[in-house]
Amino acid sequence: MGCLISHLAAKFAFFPPSPPTYQIKKRDDGNPIAVYTSSSIPLTAGADDGCSLDVLSLDTKRGNKIVAFYLKNPYARLTLLYSHGNAADLGQLFDLFVQLKANLRVNLMGYDYSGYGASTGKPSESNTYADIEAVYECLETEYGVSQEDLILYGQSVGSGPTLHLAAKLPRLRGVVLHSGILSGLRVVCHVKCTLCFDIYKNVNKIRKVKCPTLVIHGTEDDVVNWLHGNGLWKMAKDPYEPLWIKGGGHCNLELYPDYIRHLCRFIYEMETTTTKTRLSKIKPTLGLPKKSKSKPETPSCCTSPCSCCCIKTGLPNCLKCPRPHCPKCANCFKANCCLLNWKCGCCWWRKPKCPKVKLPKCPKAKLPKCPACLRCRCFSCSCNCLNCSCW
């Protein structure tokens, strides 16, 4: 019963344009090109001369072939992966992609879900998850984009696959939720609990996203209520200053000047955020064990009081000094054992007498003199021989 309701919910969630607004054709050199269905004019015809468009066909793990557009900006540092809404395809969004690429100074990857545009298969929740995973894999392998340089952008239903992928990438640079949904059923019914047959349970996945999250929503959205955006923003682990566009609807937020202005500020801050700052934010969320502040344990070679060991535990004050070994302890090369340094002048502690040498005392310091020593080591000259073989 739950699967049937989920299937019905998916039917109401997806409205691919029919016929698609674009087609994929082959150039003379064999490379694919996207043209408008109505006029057979290439999509790039109306764009700037410098518009670089790669038309890609990607295989998903569910056996579908999806179409993706990659627009390269030579001045970009970050890449934006755009997941569109439920009633559009790449042909309708291409002009918007060109504007975002130029204004935000990013590389942009957009794709059509299974069953949309020139992509094969049928649209479903699980298919959209497989679709975005295939696109991310392409960005990694073909374009060398790491998650640290990637921002995920999800519009309306696109917030589902966006949060699905974002929850799996702990080092992601950022997420943008544009008119996002809490879940599929919550759009239709104002329920407060999550049911097993619900689709796009973003209300659960938003809590797993560790990167900065920007939420954009119109206050007069009559398709996805503003409360969805507000709820996502409140549940985000690292919420960025939201953008509530006064009077904005569901499909016209790009027309407001605040939209591009706020988005530019978000992208700029993501670009300038240092690795150190990002790691300091991510570390507490990884659940790493805290360093113990207790004193270090006594090493195994010094478990019992031993007259031969001068210092049982602790680290040397001088980092340049090599650790000497105790003549009576076999394992005394371990850390924290016998840490006095007899070979460095920066260590001021008194050096022990040689236990195997009994010679007349030095007339200056009244200390024993080792036969291997070629000069007197009086108290003022650090007390004893530094090169004695019995050490």
Radius of gyration of the chain (CA): 34
Q: Which of 84, 217, 228, 250 is catalytic?
A: 250
Identity of the amino acid at 133: E
Identity of the amino acid at 212: P
HSE-CB at 123 with a 13 A cutoff on CA atoms is: 25
Is 156 known to be catalytic?
A: yes
End-to-end CA distance of the chain: 82
Is 221 known to be catalytic?
A: yes
Helices 159-166 and 125-143: angle between axes, nearest 10 degrees = 60
Backbone angles phi, psi at 370, to 5 degrees: -85, 140
| Nearest in space to 185 (alpha carbons), one of 224, 135, 128 | 224
Give long-range contacts, CB 8 A cutoff, 24+ apart: 338-347.
338/309, 338/310, 338/311, 339/311, 339/314, 339/315, 340/310, 340/311, 340/316, 341/316, 342/384, 342/386, 342/391, 343/386, 344/318, 344/320, 345/382, 346/318, 346/320, 346/321, 347/316, 347/317, 347/318, 347/321
Q: Which of 6, 83, 119, 156 is catalytic?
A: 156
Q: Which of 6, 221, 228, 262 is catalytic?
A: 221
CB 42 within 8 A of CB 35: yes
CA atoms of 375 and 384, how far apart (whole Å): 10
Interior CA angle at 160 toward 158 and 164, to 5°? Answer: 125
CA atoms of 159 and 128, how far apart (whole Å): 11
Active-site residues: which are they? 156, 221, 250
